[in-house]
Structure 1
């Protein structure tokens, strides 16, 4: 099983060309992925996209026949003409989707910097040999440290809630009602652009276990490449945001998934986004 995560920068390459098709073509060349997690997907933002009315989530869905595509808007607003604008994250899967959830992340006030709301999309899929698997993708705040820390803590709490439901599922309600029994996944995977480095205190915060819980997030790179620095995923070719390449795009896994993680690699060559795609492989 292969899962690919990528901050697409609204599908804008370092050459300034905005192209969802190019993003999908490169992702397909990199891997025959089962799940694709994309951050910074935009709709109707002329300042970013170069033209109005482009629904990138719809374009990506059309480029992925046989996949279900789930878009979560961190920001939904309207332009001066009243046309809706969306900006957020997307999960596409060719595996059967069992449940979809969209979580708004904390957004405490920070008047010192510009910022925007952030969210996390979760799709539970039926993974071959693994059963129900929750796949979460997110994009944390860039400018505000206090907001990013609050969001990191919320991601830790999300795993605690998921693990709690898997261990102690709710009573099943009447079939056909919103209270009917739902798939509860023991395995959970989190990926995306966290806008922090492995040395950052918030990276450790994400992995801290909640009180009374044995489960916690584990950095997949550190598990598969112990003692090795994470391959850079940002600022390899564009140094507008800093002088040196860094890793800020990660996979985190629940402890139950660690025996199934087989490989993790970064494509350090492509320039069709300002971030590099990261590919995870799992075995049953």
Structure 2
């Protein structure tokens, strides 16, 4: 299974041009992905740089024939003009899908600090070699460290909850109702833009070992102590003077040994972040 994760910055490149077609083209060049996880996807935000005033999930669906695309809006609001606007993350896959869930992440007040709501989209899919895999994609708060830590803890707890369901499933049912048996798995990928670096406490929180199910940084599994390849501020230094790595892929206990390859595309400027490819076998 090949997965690409990318903060696409509402499909706006460093040239100021909004182009979902370019995002898909660059992601395909990085790898023939089975799963594409994108953060910062917009619906009807014409005041964003480059004018993201269109329905980007719909546009992306048209660019990915043979894929199903699931969009989770962290922000859903109506402007003074009555326009419906959404901003969030999406997962597109050509693999069979068992079920989908969208989870709002904690949003504790942080007086005077710029922020927005955040969420995590979870798609449980069936890979022919791996079986059921739970793919989780997210984008954590950038400005508020208080909110970001709360969200990191919630993601770890969410993973533990899913693992517990796999170990202790609910009462089985085949009655065709919403109570019918769901497919639960402890094989999981958590990916996205976390807005923290590997030396920060939020990273330590997500990777903190647990008997109920731990999450492991795929870069560390495959590259040991080698410095992470930068994924942000590589070409655009508006948000800081030095490149950093803040886009991660975490794998669950039983999936980390199936990691085969991880690559960061450090060349593209189709977004202010760099896309990351992981391959599992």
TM-score of the two chains, using structure 2 as the length reference:
0.98
- Is residue 43 from structure 1 mapped to residue 43 from structure 2 by the alignment? yes
1:226 to 220, 224, 235: 224
Q: In structure 2, what is the equivalent of residue 239 of structure 1?
A: 237
Contact 2:207 2:214 in 1 (8 A): yes
| Runs of at least 5 residues in structure 2 that lack an aligned partner in the other structure | none
Q: In structure 2, what is the equivalent of residue 273 of structure 1?
A: 271
Q: In structure 1, what is the equivalent of residue 247 of structure 2?
A: 249
Contact 2:222 2:261 in 1 (8 A): yes
Contact 1:20 1:59 in 2 (8 A): yes
Contact 2:39 2:89 in 1 (8 A): yes
Once residues 67 and 49 of structure 1 are traced to their aligned partners in structure 2, the CA distance between those partners, rounded to angstroms, is 28
Once residues 198 and 50 of structure 2 are traced to their aligned partners in structure 1, the CA distance between those partners, rounded to angstroms, is 34
- Is residue 85 from structure 1 mapped to residue 85 from structure 2 by the alignment? yes
**Count of residue correspondences:** 281
3-state SS of 1:54 partner? strand
| Runs of at least 5 residues in structure 1 that lack an aligned partner in the other structure | none
Contact 1:156 1:209 in 2 (8 A): no
- List aligned pairs for 1:159-198, cutoff 5 A: 159-198=159-198
Q: Deviations over 1:124-179 (max 9, x none)?
A: 00012111100000000000000000000001101110110011100023421000
Query: How far is 1:79 from its partner?
Result: 1.8
Contact 2:160 2:212 in 1 (8 A): no
Query: How far is 1:229 from its partner?
Result: 0.8
Q: Deviations over 1:50-85 (max 9, x none)?
A: 447400000000000000000000000012221210
Contact 2:219 2:249 in 1 (8 A): yes
Contact 2:163 2:213 in 1 (8 A): yes
TM-score of the two chains, using structure 1 as the length reference:
0.97
Bigger CA drift: 66-75 or 109-118?
Answer: 109-118
- Is residue 215 from structure 1 mapped to residue 206 from structure 2 by the alignment? no
Q: In structure 2, what is the equivalent of residue 17 of structure 1?
A: 17
3-state SS of 1:47 partner? coil
- List aligned pairs for 1:125-164, cutoff 5 A: 125-164=125-164
Q: CA 1:267/1:98 → structure 2, altered by over 3 Å: closer, same or farther?
A: same
Query: How far is 1:186 from its partner?
Result: 2.4
Query: How far is 1:258 from its partner?
Result: 1.3
Query: How far is 1:184 from its partner?
Result: 1.0
Once residues 82 and 145 of structure 2 are traced to their aligned partners in structure 1, the CA distance between those partners, rounded to angstroms, is 33
Query: How far is 1:29 from its partner?
Result: 1.4
Once residues 281 and 96 of structure 1 are traced to their aligned partners in structure 2, the CA distance between those partners, rounded to angstroms, is 18
In the TM superposition, structure 1's runs of 4+ consecutive aligned residues that sit over 4 Å from their partners are 49-53
Q: Deviations over 1:82-113 (max 9, x none)?
A: 12100000000000010100000000000131
3-state SS of 1:10 partner? helix
